[in-house]
Amino acid sequence: MSSVLWLRRDLRRHDLPALGAAADSTDGDVHALFVIDPVLWDGAGPVRRGWLAASIRAAAESYGGRLTVRVGDPATTVGAFADQVGADSVHVSAETTPYGARRDARVRERLTERAIEWVATGSPYAVGPGRVRTQDGKPYRVFTPFARAWREHGWPGPALSPHRISLGQDLSDGNAARRLDRALRECPVELPTAGEDAALRRWRSFRDQRLPE
C-alpha cells in the first residue's frame, strides 16, 4: 500500500512533520497531492491566484516534479485520488481555520467510508492555535501575557527529513495545469520568487543585513 500527503497552506518539503509521518506509514510510495478547491480559488483575486499558482509550481519543483495537482471538491477528490493510487492513509498538517476545519471534517468522513486512515501531524504554525491558554484553560485576551506564555510553552525543533522516501509520479490533470498557467498569465503584478528556498533566502538576507547583532 501507499500513502497520500495532501498539501494545503503548508507547502514545505523540508521540516514538514506530515511528510515524515506519510513516509513512516508505508513501505510503498508517498503521493504528494494539491487540490485546487474552486470555493477558495474562484473567490480569490488575480494577485492571490497568481501567487498561489507560483507557490504550487515551486512546491512541485521541490518535490522533484512529483506533485499531483487536481481540481475539484476536496471531499470527493482526495478520496478518489487515494483509491486511484492504492493508499490506505492520507496525511495532512492540522488545519484550524473555520473553513479548513469544516472541509477536513467532510474529507475525513468520506475517507472513513473508504476505510482510509486520516492522519493530521504538525501545523503550519510554530505553536498550534489553541495550545497556549490561561491557567483556567481559557484563551488569552491581552497580548503581553499571551506572548509570555507562548515563549514559555516553547516550540518543537525542525522536523527531521525522512530517512527513506519514494515519491509517487505526477498524476496531475490538464484542467489543473491550465488553471495555473492562466493565473500566472493574468496576474497584474510582478511577483517575487515563490517557494520555500526563496523564502529562506529572503529570511537569511533580512537576518544578516537588517537585524542588529
- The model's pLDDT over 135-151, given as tens digits with 9 standing for 90+, comes to 899 999 999 999 999 99
How far is Cα 15 from Cα 211, in angstroms, rounded to an integer? Answer: 24
Look up the domain containing 6 and give its range: 2-154+164-210
159 lies in a domain? no
Q: Check pLDDT > 90 for residue 195.
A: yes
| Residue 46: per-residue pLDDT | 97
The amino acid occupying position 86 is G
pLDDT tens sequence across 59-108? 999 999 999 999 999 999 999 999 999 999 999 999 989 999 999 999 99
pTM: 0.91
**Total structural domains within the chain:** 1
Averaged pLDDT score across all residues of the chain: 94
pLDDT tier at 26 (50, 70, 90 boundaries)?
A: very high
85 lies in a domain? yes
| Residue 124: per-residue pLDDT | 84
Query: What CATH number did the domain enclosing 198 receive?
Result: 3.40.50.620
47 lies in a domain? yes
Task: Report, as an integer, the average pLDDT of 155-171.
Answer: 87
Cβ atoms of 78 and 4 within 8 Å: the answer is yes
- Is residue 178 classed exposed, middle or buried when 0-12, 13-18 and 19+ CB atoms within 10 A define those classes? exposed
182 lies in a domain? yes
